Amino acid sequence: MPTLYGHAMSRAHRNLWLLRELGIPFDHVPTDFLHGGNKAPDFLLLNPNGKVPVLTDGDLVLYESLAINLYLARRYGTKLAPADAAEDGLAMQWSLWVATEVEKTLFVACENLFFFPEAHRRQDEADLALRKLDRPFRVLDAHLRQRAFLLGDRFTVADINVASVMSLVPVAGVDVSAYPDMAEWLGRCLARPAADDWKTIAFTVPRPPTEAAWMQSLM
Ligand SMILES: N[C@@H](CCC(=O)N[C@@H](CS)C(=O)NCC(=O)O)C(=O)O
């Protein structure tokens, strides 16, 4: 049985979402990343990067949240998994696309709108990041104008990987009305029962006790 390490208020949420969609039994160890659980020696043996999430499944130890989802979909998925090599390529394309073209920039916007303590937020940094997101958001919007989900007419791991990264959009109150098909798809994905706790999670992000620790946790 797979074991997922990582508090639900972290990128582990992506994997919890997928595991719940799969409906398979799994163990969950809610390793915390704000108060040092991710730096404990036994956790570092699983992920020397000191980051959550990590998945173990038999002898396999896997980190990187989006890779974990691609693995789980292939290993246990039926309808969520890519159906053939072409869909496999497309699921990887969208997962790498969201990790490289969207995640970091969206994170910078969110840090400056929401995550950083108020004194450290810079509106100009947030505005610049949001301007940079216009290009990938237009690409995604145009893609979804032609189809209901990223790989076509069915919901797959590719939707979970992209929508879970983009769940920061409503958290930070980013205006995406210029991308109506993307916004509609994102709302539809995040409203799925298996993802539903993202709202509670997003709005109860725990704050470390001091401003210095808060900043450190985001580095
Ligand atoms: N690219 C990694 C990023 C993992 C990551 O940064 N996790 C955060 C929590 S969401 C973490 O563990 N931060 C603690 C730290 O950086 O010390 C993934 O997608 O799994």
145-192 pLDDT, tens per residue?
999 999 999 999 999 999 999 998 987 788 899 999 999 999 999 999
Q: For ligand 1, atom 12, name the residue with the nearest CA.
A: 51
76-120 pLDDT, tens per residue?
988 899 999 999 999 999 999 999 999 999 999 998 988 888 899
Range of weakest confidence among 28-37, 41-50, 144-153: 28-37
Q: Report which DSSP code applies to 100.
A: I
Q: Give the residue, 198 or 128, on which the prediction is more confident.
A: 128
> Which is the closest atom of ligand 1 to the Cα of 14?
19
Cα 189 to chain centroid distance, Å, stands at: 12
User: In the structure encoding, which two tokens stand for residue 179, read together?
Assistant: 């991308």
pLDDT of residue 9: 86
Can 3-76 and 85-202 be said to share one CATH topology? no
- For the Cβ of 155 lying below 6 angstroms from any atom of ligand 1, the answer is no
Where do the domains of the chain lie? 3-76, 85-202
**CATH number attached to the domain at 3-76:** 3.40.30.10
How remote is the CA of residue 152 from the centroid of ligand 1, in Å? 30
Q: Is the pLDDT of residue 41 over 60?
A: yes
Mutation test residue for ligand 1: of 7, 44, 51, 104, the one with most atoms within 8 Å of CB: 51
Sign of CA dihedral 42, 48, 52, 57: negative
- For the Cβ of 71 lying below 6 angstroms from any atom of ligand 1, the answer is no
CA distance 99 to 95: 6
What is the second-level CATH architecture of the domain 85-202?
Up-down Bundle (1.20)
Q: With contact defined as beta carbons under 8 Å apart, do 3 and 26 qualify?
A: yes
pLDDT of residue 136: 98
Q: Is the pLDDT of residue 208 over 80?
A: no
